[in-house]
């Protein structure tokens, strides 16, 4: 399954700040359909993400009955992305 989404980059503060893009509701519904087959615990869903010219593997994090895409610092630097920027992300759920 592959999804394309766009949204603003936001910071989720913790001991170390993390940056994410939220998956819209319609994308969450499609991911929920595949979750039981691919999740490896805590509701994490493995994906391959493409943002600009950068592709990497990670997992979607469940948050408030939805999912968020974590954006690595190296990706944000390479793609010159800051908090608040609206980005287009392609997700491929992996088995």
HSE value, Cβ hemisphere, 13 Å, CA-based, for 94: 11
Q: Which of 27, 79, 82, 80 is nearest to 55 (CA)?
A: 79
- Give the pLDDT of residue 4: 96
Section 58-63 average pLDDT: 92
At 2 the pLDDT is 92
The CATH classification number of 2-93 equals: 2.40.30.100
| pTM listed for this prediction | 0.87
Mean residue pLDDT across the chain: 90
Predicted pLDDT at 1 = 85
């Amino acid at each position: 399954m592959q999804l394309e989404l766009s949204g603003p980059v936001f910071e989720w503060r913790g001991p170390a700040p993390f940056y994410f893009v939220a998956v819209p509701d319609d994308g969450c519904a499609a991911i929920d359909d595949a979750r039981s087959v691919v999740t490896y615990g805590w509701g994490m869903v493995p994906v391959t993400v493409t943002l600009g010219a950068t592709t990497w593997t990670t997992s979607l994090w469940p948050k408030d009955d939805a999912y968020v895409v974590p954006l690595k610092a190296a990706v944000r630097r390479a793609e010159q992305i800051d908090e608040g920027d609206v980005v287009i992300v392609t997700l491929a759920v992996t088995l």
